[in-house]
Amino acid sequence: MSPKEQLDTLLHESRTFSPSESFRQQANVQDARIYESAEQDPEGFWSAQAHELTWFEEFESVCNWDPPHAQWFIGGKLNAAYNCVDRHTLTHRKNKAAIIWEGEPGDNRVLTYDMLRREVDKAAHALRQLGVQKGDRVTIYLPMVPELPISMLACAKIGAIHSVVFGGFSAQALRDRIIDADSKLLITADAGWRRGKIVPLKANADEAVVGTPIEKVIVVERVGAQAAIELQDGRDVRWQDLMASAPTSPFPAEPMDSEDYLFLLYTSGTTGKPKGIAHSTAGYLTGANTSMRTVFDLKDNDIFFCTADIGWITGHTYLVYGPLSAGATVVMYEGSPDFPDRDRYWEIAEKYGATILYTAPTSIRMFMKWGSQYVEQHDLSSLRLLGTVGEPINPEAWMWYHKYIGQERCPIVDTWWQTETGCAMIAPLPGLVTTKPGSATRPVPGIAIDIVDEEGNSVPPGHGGYLVITKPWPSMLRTVWGDDERFRNTYFGKFEGIYLPGDGAHLDEDGYIWILGRIDDVINVSGHRIGTAEVESALVAHPAVAEAAVIGRSHEVKGQAITAFVTLREGVSASDDLIAELKQYVVERIGAMARPEEILFTAELPKTRSGKIMRRLLRDIGEGRVIGDTTTLADPSVVEALKAQYKDQD
């Protein structure tokens, strides 16, 4: 479907789903006045939410907004790890499961809050012994094993800033992130399991750290002998050895200032260089915690199954800081949804009695493709609420999710947010809001959203515009690490004092928000954000390539797929082998998620007279659309040649 057709389908989506009476009656939020009261007094609303956390020192004022810089809960002191772990051990939750972990090969591990506290404290002691201090950056490159949340929480306990790099990233990508964050310590694993195969993390780490500030590498043994790794003397230490010899005494939680950074998480933007999104301690934690209670309607007996990898913001907020700060039980799964078979998620959901499931549209579309028989083999009656995140969900996928996973019983919360926003911004409160398939509905209480035109004026219903957030919120990013100018320009450069997420959207007649996707040069592949410029710089680094232009085109399962148009250097000839080599080259420089779906060689790229590549035309070609305005093209024949070539390829 072309974007235009997609938009028409969305505009004609008229099905609505109201929460059932029984869901409504048990919901945490039953009173719709929460929206108005939060709007009238956002500071009062957020202050009340922040008081769900445990503070070492009470904050003095709620918010200071000096655009683009916000400070929240000023003067307060708290510790994120204390809030996620220690405080629960002083309650009835002491022996409650905090993390139910399942490894891909079928091994599992359950950590109660009390056990988690002991692990986190030992890890904090170990990090401290290796010299980690408050404010230091620690890079974490791990598969989905319990040591990942343990490492993050140990950093938080010390007051060190963690920077988790998704295990699917290449050595080069890891290296760039280590250098940018200036980390002295890296936590990695020998290897990870994915679809029954070994993912060589340590080998990537070895390559990544050379010539960086990294002094020590902690290596978690996950795979063991089969991974066949070597430890470098004086630099590498086994996690298991450190933990075995670490003091077992409690590690005192560092009292952090509200505004001290809790973590950095790198995300793609419109230039080739990823941005280190910096999140604060108090504001971020308040946002994560609040949305667990409101959007996810979390109760003490819930089993929260979030399928995201902790290497992305969804995993940070909804596998670690949100659920644990709220004292929940989370289900964490290490591997692939189709290993050993395509029913793995449903097997896990049934086995542990998951009550809330949070996953991505791309996964739902894949499940649809696989067929409902994999779902029907399992008893999913424990589920009571479903969530989606990562990209607009097409109404058909929504309906499938509703029917086969939710069994027409579970409300669906479609949550729009970003790495930068920290937690869900647009989403229904499931006991209150009638949902429409494909719409994230309305802003959550305390969040001010608008859709505006080029001049910043609100657009009427039915008209597309820029999605913006007009007031500061606690979990907003504080800066781009080491580049405040970029923070200012990217997010606040277009409209003064107004946050620009980079998404297009429109309102319908009922005031429901429909997200239309990115409006910048960012592609959303299976819910992963990839900058076209990153892929382009990877391609042009190859000796055969003269120039490259990368676009996203719609893809049935991935949402978007990467198409690269490449011009070759003089004397290099095009071949299928070269295509395969270039694809692999991108994988090595960024990671598997950035592998171009297709590469097209072209003698020239369409450019304006000033030499700017006209991506819009390339996108039109990619989608097989009628080509729009070509009058600014330096050489119009380029487009005709490309079109003919693109057709040949199909």
Q: What is the chain's alpha carbon radius of gyration, rounded to the nearest angstrom?
A: 24
Region near ligand WT7 per CB under 6 A, out of 130-138, 202-210, 417-425, 595-603: 417-425
3-class DSSP string for 534-568:
HHHHHHHCCCCEEEEEEEEEEECCCEEEEEEEEEE
Residue that is written with structure tokens 């809001």 in the block:
433
Query: Residue 93 annotated as binding?
Result: no
The correct pick among 121, 180, 309, 391 for binding ligand WT7 (CB under 6 A) is: 391
Task: In angstroms, give the least distance from the CB of 180 to ligand WT7.
Answer: 17
The correct pick among 132, 440, 498, 600 for binding ligand WT7 (CB under 6 A) is: 440
Contact between 416 and ligand WT7 (CB under 6 A)?
A: yes
Query: Residue 384 annotated as binding?
Result: no
Could you tell me the strand order of the sheet in which 503-507 lies? 449-452, 465-469, 503-507, 513-518
Residues 6+ apart with CB under 8 A from 532: 270, 521, 522, 523, 549, 550, 551, 552, 615
Contact between 441 and ligand WT7 (CB under 6 A)?
A: no
| Distance between CA atoms of residues 478 and 339, nearest Å | 39
Query: Residue 415 annotated as binding?
Result: yes
Tell me the C-alpha to C-alpha distance, in Å, between residue 555 and each of 214, 524, 561.
39, 10, 6
Between 239 and 416, whose beta carbon lies closer to ligand WT7?
A: 416
The correct pick among 419, 475, 479, 490 for binding ligand WT7 (CB under 6 A) is: 419
Contact between 607 and ligand WT7 (CB under 6 A)?
A: no
Contact between 149 and ligand WT7 (CB under 6 A)?
A: no
Secondary structure element (H or E) that encloses residue 639, with its range: helix 637-649
Contact between 13 and ligand WT7 (CB under 6 A)?
A: no
Mark out the alpha helices in 103-146 (DSSP H runs).
113-129
The correct pick among 173, 319, 389, 399 for binding ligand WT7 (CB under 6 A) is: 389
CA 72 to chain centroid:
23
Count Cβ atoms below 10 Å from residue 67 Cβ, excluding itself: 12
Token pair belonging to 558: 């991935």
Query: Residue 419 annotated as binding?
Result: yes
Query: Residue 314 annotated as binding?
Result: yes
Query: Residue 183 annotated as binding?
Result: no
Between 333 and 416, whose beta carbon lies closer to ligand WT7?
A: 416
Contact between 475 and ligand WT7 (CB under 6 A)?
A: no
Q: Helices 576-589 and 171-181 sit at what angle, rounded to 10 degrees? A: 30
The correct pick among 414, 450, 534, 536 for binding ligand WT7 (CB under 6 A) is: 414
Query: Residue 526 annotated as binding?
Result: yes
- 142, 140, 146, 141: which is closest to 103 by C-alpha? 146
Contact between 436 and ligand WT7 (CB under 6 A)?
A: no
Residue that is written with structure tokens 């479903």 in the block:
386
DSSP state of 274: P
Task: In angstroms, give the least distance from the CB of 522 to ligand WT7.
Answer: 7
Query: Residue 69 annotated as binding?
Result: no
- 370, 411, 417, 424: which is closest to 391 by C-alpha? 417
Contact between 518 and ligand WT7 (CB under 6 A)?
A: yes
Query: Residue 281 annotated as binding?
Result: no
Query: Residue 271 annotated as binding?
Result: no
Between 97 and 525, whose beta carbon lies closer to ligand WT7?
A: 525
At position 264, the amino acid (one-letter code) is L
The correct pick among 139, 212, 267, 286 for binding ligand WT7 (CB under 6 A) is: 267
At position 71, the amino acid (one-letter code) is Q
Region near ligand WT7 per CB under 6 A, out of 2-10, 89-97, 499-507, 595-603: 499-507
Between 217 and 440, whose beta carbon lies closer to ligand WT7?
A: 440
Query: Residue 390 annotated as binding?
Result: yes
Query: Residue 258 annotated as binding?
Result: no
The correct pick among 392, 443, 531, 606 for binding ligand WT7 (CB under 6 A) is: 392
The correct pick among 418, 470, 632, 645 for binding ligand WT7 (CB under 6 A) is: 418
Between 37 and 418, whose beta carbon lies closer to ligand WT7?
A: 418
Query: Residue 194 annotated as binding?
Result: yes
Between 290 and 602, whose beta carbon lies closer to ligand WT7?
A: 290
Contact between 314 and ligand WT7 (CB under 6 A)?
A: yes
Residues 6+ apart with CB under 8 A from 260: 135, 159, 280, 281
The correct pick among 501, 552, 559, 591 for binding ligand WT7 (CB under 6 A) is: 501
Region near ligand WT7 per CB under 6 A, out of 20-28, 404-412, 510-518, 629-637: 510-518
> Do 35 and 45 meet the contact criterion of CB atoms below 8 Å apart?
no
Q: Helices 615-622 and 637-649 sit at what angle, rounded to 10 degrees? A: 30
Query: Residue 418 annotated as binding?
Result: yes
Query: Residue 151 annotated as binding?
Result: no
Contact between 524 and ligand WT7 (CB under 6 A)?
A: yes
Task: In angstroms, give the least distance from the CB of 637 to ligand WT7.
Answer: 35
What is the DSSP annotation of 343-403?
THHHHHHHHHT-SEEEE-HHHHHHHHHH-THHHHTS--TT--EEEE-SSPPPHHHHHHIII
| Distance between CA atoms of residues 83 and 157, nearest Å | 10
Contact between 529 and ligand WT7 (CB under 6 A)?
A: yes
Between 345 and 514, whose beta carbon lies closer to ligand WT7?
A: 514
Handedness of CA 299, 354, 192, 227 (dihedral sign): positive
Contact between 415 and ligand WT7 (CB under 6 A)?
A: yes
The correct pick among 417, 491, 499, 585 for binding ligand WT7 (CB under 6 A) is: 417
CA 191 to chain centroid:
22
Query: Residue 170 annotated as binding?
Result: no
Contact between 275 and ligand WT7 (CB under 6 A)?
A: no
| Distance between CA atoms of residues 98 and 423, nearest Å | 20
Query: Which residue's beta carbon is nearest to the bound ligand WT7?
Result: 419
> Do 59 and 282 meet the contact criterion of CB atoms below 8 Å apart?
yes
- 380, 398, 376: which is closest to 389 by C-alpha? 398
Between 415 and 563, whose beta carbon lies closer to ligand WT7?
A: 415
List, as residue ranges, the binding site: 194-197, 314, 390-392, 414-419, 503, 518, 526, 529, 540, 542, 545
Q: Which residues bind ligand WT7 (CB under 6 A)?
A: 267, 313-314, 389-392, 414-419, 440, 501-503, 515, 517-518, 524, 527, 529
List, as residue ranges, the binding site for Mg(2+): 540, 542, 545
